[in-house]
Amino acid sequence: MGEAIAAYLHYLSIFLLFALLTLEHQLFKRPLDLPRARSLMRIDIAYALSAGLILASGAARLVWYGKGLAYYLHNSLFHAKLGLFILIALLSILPTLVFLNWRNDLRAGLVPQVSTRMGTLVIMTIRLELLLLLILPLLAALMARGFGVIGRA
């Protein structure tokens, strides 16, 4: 039962992460308004929490369930998948910092100002994150079918 719950939480958090990032992409339009700016901040927090849930549920599957720790640690696709997830997390820092910088304006009831350059950079970063997220399920599917095992003949 624990294995099914860990897998369910892992998949659910992945779907949630993709949905939240898609929402960020849809809401981040210039010029901003106050409700959208507030929503973007809340969505970004939920995005970070879902990423944490992906890591926690993935770690549970890695250590206690699945094919065993040795299988994953000796699988090049697992390393690629984890590296890609880390890259996406690093990319997400830019939008998060932009949204966090809006806190004082939002508390004062002001609409945050975003330059054209920064707006373009944030939206392109979110698009790149979405694109890279599409690669993760392919790596997972290949890995689950035995591809990527180091030393495999």
Sequential pLDDT tens for the chain (153 residues):
988 999 999 999 999 999 999 999 999 998 999 999 999 999 999 999 999 999 999 999 888 887 778 888 899 999 999 999 999 999 999 999 999 999 999 999 999 999 999 999 999 999 999 999 999 999 999 998 989 998 754
- Which residues fall within 8 angstroms of residue 21, CB to CB, at 6 or more apart? 47, 126, 129, 130, 133
Least Cα distance to 24 among 103, 90, 122, 121 occurs for 122
Token pair for residue 67?
A: 């094919």
**What pLDDT does 97 receive?**
97
**What pLDDT does 152 receive?**
56
Cβ contact 10:59 at 8 Å: no
CA distance 102 to 87: 24
**What pLDDT does 27 receive?**
97
CA distance 24 to 95: 9
**What pLDDT does 153 receive?**
47
CA distance 24 to 14: 15
**What pLDDT does 86 receive?**
96
**What pLDDT does 150 receive?**
84
Cα-to-chain-centroid distance, residue 49: 9
pTM of full prediction above 0.85: yes
